[in-house]
Amino acid sequence: MADTIAAAGAAKPIRTVDHKRHQTLAFALSTDYGVFLLARISEARRPGVTEREAIAAGMQRTGRLITSAAILLAVAIGAFVTSKLVFLKEVGVGVAAAVLIDAFIVRALLVPSLMALLGRWNWWAPAPLVRLHGRLGLAEAESPVTRGDAGGRAGHASQPGVPRPK
């Protein structure tokens, strides 16, 4: 029984396949929160605005929306708990809890804290990726933020002043 996890008080153990399926579903449902948050933080970056101010502005713009969407999704998926099928009950509890943890702990606390610690390194891209974007014509629109002083230190045009790792 290597493919099972013993569930406390359960008649049947939870199979690891089900556990991995729950993780995948929770990740897929919560990814859009991260993309939305990072897009707003990226939009808030402009000349004269520090990284911390941009993070605060992005959090301020998205906080209520992410919280409301997470609660709505958790309630909708949590309704699976009322099913008579054990598998659906597992999905309801597991995915609802994962979405709430992601919205309230990861997106509200961990992501902003880590971004504040990393500062300008949040926007660094490896040189091969920058070259690939150049070949494919993928670039951010030219703005005052992307023009900055390259001075030989920038990873590419949209990363002024970010040193390349040695």
Residues in the chain, how many? 166
- The pLDDT, as a whole number, for residue 34 is 84
- The pLDDT, as a whole number, for residue 32 is 81
- The pLDDT, as a whole number, for residue 10 is 54
End-to-end CA distance of the chain: 48
Q: Is 26 helix (H, G, I), strand (E, B) or coil?
A: helix
Amino acid letter for position 104: F
Question: pLDDT tens-digit profile of 29-74?
Answer: 778 888 888 889 988 887 788 999 999 999 999 999 999 999 999 9
Q: What is the value of pTM for the model shown?
A: 0.66
Dist CA 111 CA 37 (whole Å):
9
Which stretches of 12-89 are assigned E, i.e. beta strand? 14-15
Longest dimension (CA), the chain: 66
- The pLDDT, as a whole number, for residue 1 is 46
Residues of the chain with confidence (pLDDT) below 70: 1-17, 140-166
